[in-house]
Amino acid sequence: MSDKYMPHTNEEIQEMLEKIGVESINDLYKDVPEEVIFTEEYDIPSSMSEIELRRHFEELGKKNKTLTVFSGGGVYDHYSPSVVSHLLQRSEFYTAYTPYQPEISQGTLQYIFEYQSMISELTGLEATNASMYDGATSAAEVIFMMVASSKKRNRVLISSTIHQRVVDVIKTYAKFHGIELTIIPEKNGVTDLEAIDEELQKDDVAGVLVPTPNKYGIIEDYSGLADKIHSKKGYFGIYADPSTLAVLRTPAEWNADVACGDGQSLGMPLNFGGPYLGFISCSKTMIRKMPGRVVGATKDADGKRAYVLTLQAREQHIRREKATSNICSNQSLMALYATVYLSLLGKKGLEEVNTMCCDGAHYLYNLLLASGKFKAVFDKPFLKEFLVETSLDMEKVNQRLLDNGIQGGLKVGENKVLFAVTEKRTKEEIETLVNLMLEEEK
């Protein structure tokens, strides 16, 4: 029965069976009704050696095509310094369990504390949890937080300018949990603030969630919104791209109570959709309704500074069906990813990344408009992503780009395209993209 992951020799198995007082391993399953015992063989391939396994993965990998990416849609091809993946490979981090035994988990607990501190710096809000699964589920949990914090209200307004995939997940959670959602329409590419105002007059709104930047890359103006929501006793939430918060007005500066979003933009590999992480930051008033794990600073018996999971009375393992959420595992190692990334980039680096993205995006935007084949859809400020309208046949154009190893913009509706530019793209790549798109049909 021995295998490289199962070290038992036949002799050892015999010794162990003797100690237990049974004759064979099958005797350990004597209590299982015979009718449910699986007597066949699994229909899965035979054992592969490392050499064969490597070959199999390489063959699968050849069926993929890695491209020069100009698509965003909430996932951005940012650069991550070499150090990040090296430190993530330390097995003391990745083979550890959840830090329920703080005396032997100070490494994990401290990086989560640092992670919370850094995300709070970006959002400007006091408290951040140890991470959620992704941006969409963090947004769904924020909707729950708003309802739980408001006590008697059960309706939440969400802007239709939040990424559709995030809205879809919020809808699923709300449908099953029994929360009433009102989707606020867009007007000229941004949230219709008058529509929010009208809904607020009904005095039954627990909270409002709006994005920055929005699904078209637009940086929306929320002047006056917080006061309106707060005067009607609602909570104000912002779904934010955390990378952009190094330069954009923060949720705290908009006077929001809670922020959430996807941490992927903090240098995480595209990874075909995951793992990334979701974050939630909130003001003090909402801390006790916040889902998930939280790390706090404290002291040990000798007075030494140390870190520990805290406010656990909110969580499922203590409160069961009365918990604020069912979340147990989160995306801890990705929180380490974000922490190392933000440590390296620091105060100046993240600003510089945003400047480069913004300059590159505007360079592409200007080239497209100058070509005469593209025009602006909304005249609104943007950072690294923007929507344009085109007279070109985008099906054909995107195919031509793929043939040249480029993932172009994301098609939106019939004739609109959403482009994203990160610091990884060069001026030359942008020019190649534009030239290929404008090439006459052959």
Partner 1 sequence: MKTYDKLIFELSKPGRKGYSLPENEYKTDGLSSIPKDLLRKEVADLPEVSELDVVRHFTNLSSKNFGVDTGFYPLGSCTMKYNPKINEELSALPSFTNLHPLQSEKTVQGALELYWNLQEMLSNIAGLAEFTLNPYAGAHGELTGLMVMRQYHISRGDEKRKKVIVPNSAHGTNPASAMVAGLEVVEVKSKPNGSIDVEDLKPLLDDSVAGIMMTNPNTLGMFETEIMEIANLVHNAGGLLYYDGANLNPLLGKVRPGDMGFDIMHINLHKTFSTPHGGGGPGSGPVGVAKHLVDFLPNPRVVKNEDGSFSIKSEDQSLGNISSFLGNFGVMMKAYAYILSLGKENIKNVGPLATLNANYIKESLKDDYLLPIEGVCKHEFVFDGLKDKSTGVTTLNVAKRLLDYGFHAPTIYFPLLFHESMMIEPTETESKETLDEFIDVMHTVAKEARENPEVVKSAPLTTIVRKLDETSAAKNPILSYRSLKANAK
Does 432 bind partner 1 (CB under 8 A)? Our answer is: no
Q: Which amino acid is at 110?
A: Q
Binding span for partner 1 by CB under 8 A among 132-140, 146-154, 227-235, 370-378: 132-140
- x-marked contacts with partner 1 along 310-329 as a string, rule CB under 8 A: xxxx-xxxxxxxxx-xxxxx
- Binding to partner 1 (CB under 8 A) within 164-183 occurs at 165-166, 168-169, 171-173, 175-178
Burial status of residue 40 (CB atoms within 10 A of its CB: 0-12, 13-18, 19 or more): exposed
User: Which helix or strand (DSSP H or E) is residue 83 part of?
Assistant: helix 82-88
Binder to partner 1 among 209, 353, 412, 437 (CB under 8 A)? 353
The answer to whether 368 touches 434, Cβ cutoff 8 Å, is yes
Binding span for partner 1 by CB under 8 A among 181-189, 202-210, 295-303, 369-377: 295-303
Categorise residue 234: left if φ over 0, alpha if ψ from -120 to 50, beta otherwise. beta
Cβ at position 22, least distance to partner 1 in Å: 7
Residue whose CB is less far from partner 1, 102 or 232: 102
Q: In whole angstroms, how far apart are CA 175 and each of 135, 140, 155, 258?
A: 18, 11, 12, 22
- Binding to partner 1 (CB under 8 A) within 255-294 occurs at 262, 269-277, 287, 293-294
Alpha-carbon distance of 428 to 51, in angstroms, equals: 39
- Binding to partner 1 (CB under 8 A) within 379-398 occurs at 381-383, 398
Binder to partner 1 among 62, 151, 152, 442 (CB under 8 A)? 62
Q: Which residues contact 119 (CB under 8 A, 6 or more apart)?
A: 128, 242, 263, 279, 281, 338
Does 137 bind partner 1 (CB under 8 A)? Our answer is: yes
Does 191 bind partner 1 (CB under 8 A)? Our answer is: no
Binder to partner 1 among 410, 412, 433, 437 (CB under 8 A)? 410
Q: Which of 168, 173, 208, 171 is nearest to 192 (CA)?
A: 208
Binder to partner 1 among 10, 43, 372, 441 (CB under 8 A)? 43
**For 433, what's the count of Cα atoms within 13 Å in the CB-facing half-sphere?**
26
Binding span for partner 1 by CB under 8 A among 150-158, 199-207, 226-234, 248-256: 248-256
Does 186 bind partner 1 (CB under 8 A)? Our answer is: no
Does 413 bind partner 1 (CB under 8 A)? Our answer is: no
Alpha-carbon distance of 237 to 281, in angstroms, equals: 10
Total binding residues for partner 1 by CB under 8 A? 209
CA 218 to chain centroid, in Å, comes to 19
Residue whose CB is less far from partner 1, 130 or 157: 130
Neighbours of 218 (CB within 10 A): 26
The answer to whether 69 touches 408, Cβ cutoff 8 Å, is no
Does 224 bind partner 1 (CB under 8 A)? Our answer is: no
Does 12 bind partner 1 (CB under 8 A)? Our answer is: yes
